[in-house]
Amino acid sequence: MKKPTKKQPYSTLIDDLASFIEQGRKAAARYVNTALVATYWLIGWRIVEYEQKGKERAEYGEVLLERLAKDLTNKFGKGFGRENLRLMRQF
């Protein structure tokens, strides 16, 4: 960021503000991505915990993922299909 002088041109103000906006947007995207990764990991962890019920290995079929995909998609929209939930579970 440039140090203000007595008389800066308007274009300098616009450039500085544009830089702030771009930096803010990039930071927001990083924070959102970090939160999403953590959320997806927790979803996968919780599915595994539910499936295993304390056992070392789960005794499950794809029925649970199908049901979860349907219910979560109805509640939250796209992004929670069976394949995405399978990947979250693997994560």
Mean pLDDT computed over 30-51: 94
The residues near 66 (Cβ < 8 Å, ≥ 6 apart) are: 82
Q: Indicate the DSSP class of residue 7.
A: S
How many Å apart are CA 1 and CA 48, to the nearest integer? 48
The pTM of this model reads 0.72
On whether the CB atoms of residues 55 and 10 are closer than 8 A, the answer is no
Note whether 41 and 62 are within 8 A (CB): no
- What is the mean predicted confidence (pLDDT) over 84-91? 92
- Kindly give the residue spans of alpha helices, DSSP state H, lying in 6-81: 10-52, 63-76
Q: Name residue, tokens 């450039």.
A: 15
For residue range 45-81, what is the model confidence (pLDDT) as tens digits? 999 888 887 666 655 557 889 999 999 999 999 999 9
Residue 33 has pLDDT above 90, yes or no: yes
Mean per-residue pLDDT of the chain: 89
